[in-house]
Amino acid sequence: QVQLVESGGGLVQAGGSLRLSCVASGSIFSINVMGWYRRVPGKQRELVAGVSSGGRTNYADFVKGRFTISRDNAKNTVYLQMNSLKPEDTAVYFCNVYQGYSTHWGQGTQVTVSS
């Protein structure tokens, strides 16, 4: 059993910043991939960024240069630093852990960017 708890969402003006955090607990493997997805109203959930337990990262093109993903393996925590936010970044952001051929999801945190 894996539990993921996100925090850090909220309302921010365009150009502002937010930092999302996700703490994983339960049966966490030492080798896994942690990431962030988002669901924009009316669209399917999409990958924002991911980071492996070895530190390798990947980003969606629409956040490159603005968002930074990082993780603290000792704390089983993944972060998403979001800078230069745009109204189109408004979405529910979900934490994700992929390990042992299984995928686990957090409940999501709302990010709203006003123009």
- pLDDT category at 41 given cuts 50, 70, 90 is confident
- pLDDT tens-digit series, residues 62-95: 999 999 999 999 999 999 999 999 999 999 999 9
The pLDDT tens digits for 21-40 are 999 999 989 889 999 999 99
DSSP β-ladder status, 109-114 and 10-13: parallel
Task: Specify the 3-state DSSP secondary structure of 66.
Answer: coil
- Calculate mean pLDDT across residues 51-66: 96
